Amino acid sequence: MTTNQHPMLNVAVKAARTAGSIINRAALDIESVRISQKKANDFVTEVDHAAERIIIDTLLSAYPGHGIWAEESGRTMGAKDSDFVWIIDPLDGTTNFIHGLPVYCVSIALAVKGKIEHAVVYDPTRNDLFTATRGRGAFLNERRIRVSRRTQLKESLISTGFPFRPGDDFNRYLAMMGEVMQRTAGLRRPGAAALDLAYVAAGYTEGFFETGLQPWDVAAGSLLVSEAGGLVGNFTGEPDFLEQHECLAGTPKVYGQLVGVLGKYSKFASAGEKAAVRQAPAASAE
């Protein structure tokens, strides 16, 4: 462990690694993991709960005055009115985990007065640790990372997440995917948004977009991207996206090009732009 890391980041790293070891142990015998369904296609396992408990215990034993905002337990733990709030996804990519597909991660961020200051995304199957502190850069296994140097959308690899809940707007999503597919070198759907953002930060992909996301999906990953020299916002390019359920990230040039393609599909697009989407045939990309 490097000594020049912020002490709060060090505690988050310890929490993430401890949760990761719980996840790795469970992955050895995935058939015995108890699974329950929150909503259609929205699963939670006993591993999510155990990982979340150990993360919260680790953070609160170090910082008992801090607040907690976690995927499974909400805001029930920690201080209610603290300026310091830990935003936690104990296992992002639960559906992958249940099937034994090794693409999932632990995501922990610290917001101070609403701004993300520290971030950890830990991939336990690869032992990859992504960290960032505001103003200090982003790191993968203690080596500095930067977003990709690619500037053209047509050369870019873009990741996304598919809508999977009843009530999601599938037609809008298919139209968005159709436009992006025809303008890029490839579209990928790994299945864990926090890891998708970490991969943009590391330069593995040039961009990422998804709707229906929660703050714990994107809090840590968004700081990784911005500290690695990328941009993060909503589909119209506004930076205030954390609770808006749509997220777009990319290298600066690719981000701008994606706003040009996806902006009209945003919840925040103008009425005229939305009408144009409704009238366009599904495969309207050139």
Same domain? 160 vs 270: yes
Residue 284: pLDDT band with limits 50, 70, 90: very low
pLDDT at 1 over 50: no
Averaged pLDDT for residues 255-270: 91
pLDDT per position as a tens digit, 107-157: 999 999 999 999 999 999 999 999 999 999 999 999 999 999 999 999 999
Same domain? 121 vs 184: no
pLDDT at 269 over 90: no
Same domain? 138 vs 157: no
pLDDT per position as a tens digit, 180-224: 999 999 999 999 999 999 999 999 999 999 998 999 999 999 999
Burial string for 122-155 (b: 16+ CB within 10 Å, else e) reads: bbbbeebbbbbbbeeebbbeeeebebbebeebee
Averaged pLDDT for residues 264-276: 76
Number of structural domains in the chain: 2
Instruction: Please give the Cα distance from 260 to 243 (Å, whole number).
Output: 22
Has residue 285 been placed in a domain? no
Has residue 27 been placed in a domain? yes
Same domain? 42 vs 61: yes
Averaged pLDDT for residues 239-260: 93
What single string gives the DSSP state of each residue in 201-269?
Answer: HHTSSSEEEEES--HHHHHHHHHHHHHTT-EEE-TT--S--TTSSEEEEE-HHHHHHHHHHHGGGSTTS
Residue 198 or 266, more confident: 198
Has residue 1 been placed in a domain? no
- How large is the C-alpha radius of gyration of the chain? 18
Query: Could you tell me the sign of the dihedral formed by the alpha carbons of 44, 201, 221, 14, in that order?
Result: positive
Has residue 284 been placed in a domain? no
**Letter for the amino acid at 270?**
S
Has residue 37 been placed in a domain? yes
Same domain? 246 vs 123: no
Range of the domain at 36: 7-145
Locate 79 and state its tokens. Answer: 């201080």
Beta-strand relationship, 157-160 and 207-211: parallel
Q: Would you say the pTM of this structure is higher than 0.85? A: yes
Residue 75 burial (CB count, 10 A): 11
Same domain? 137 vs 173: no
pLDDT per position as a tens digit, 32-89: 888 877 766 667 789 999 999 999 999 999 999 999 999 999 999 999 999 999 999 9
pLDDT at 31 over 70: yes
3-class SS of residue 179: helix
CATH code: domain of residue 111 = 3.30.540.10
What single string gives the DSSP state of each residue in 91-146?
Answer: EETHHHHHHT-S--EEEEEEEETTEEEEEEEEETTTTEEEEEETTS-EEETTEEE-
102, 125, 145 - which closes a domain: 145
pLDDT at 281 over 70: no
Same domain? 170 vs 196: yes
Has residue 286 been placed in a domain? no
The pLDDT value given to residue 42: 67
Residue 65 burial (CB count, 10 A): 11
Counting Cβ atoms within 10 Å, is residue 160 exposed (0-12), middle (13-18) or buried (19+)? buried
Residue 277: pLDDT band with limits 50, 70, 90: low
DSSP 8-state code for residue 81: S
Averaged pLDDT for residues 257-265: 95
Between 137-141, 237-241, 253-257, the lowest mean confidence (pLDDT) is in 237-241
Stated length of the chain? 286
Same domain? 113 vs 218: no
Instruction: Please give the Cα distance from 248 to 205 (Å, whole number).
Output: 13
Same domain? 161 vs 245: yes
Residue 48 Cα distances to 23, 116, 131, 191, angstroms: 8, 23, 21, 16
Has residue 127 been placed in a domain? yes
112, 145, 178 - which closes a domain: 145
The pLDDT value given to residue 57: 98
- Sheet harboring 84-92: ordered strands across? 67-70, 84-92, 105-112, 115-123, 128-133, 138-140, 143-145
Between 51-60, 91-100, 269-278, the lowest mean confidence (pLDDT) is in 269-278
pLDDT per position as a tens digit, 162-179: 877 766 688 889 999 999
In contact, 66 and 60? CB cutoff 8 Å: yes
CATH code: domain of residue 246 = 3.40.190.80
Instruction: Please give the Cα distance from 255 to 246 (Å, whole number).
Output: 14
125, 145, 165 - which closes a domain: 145
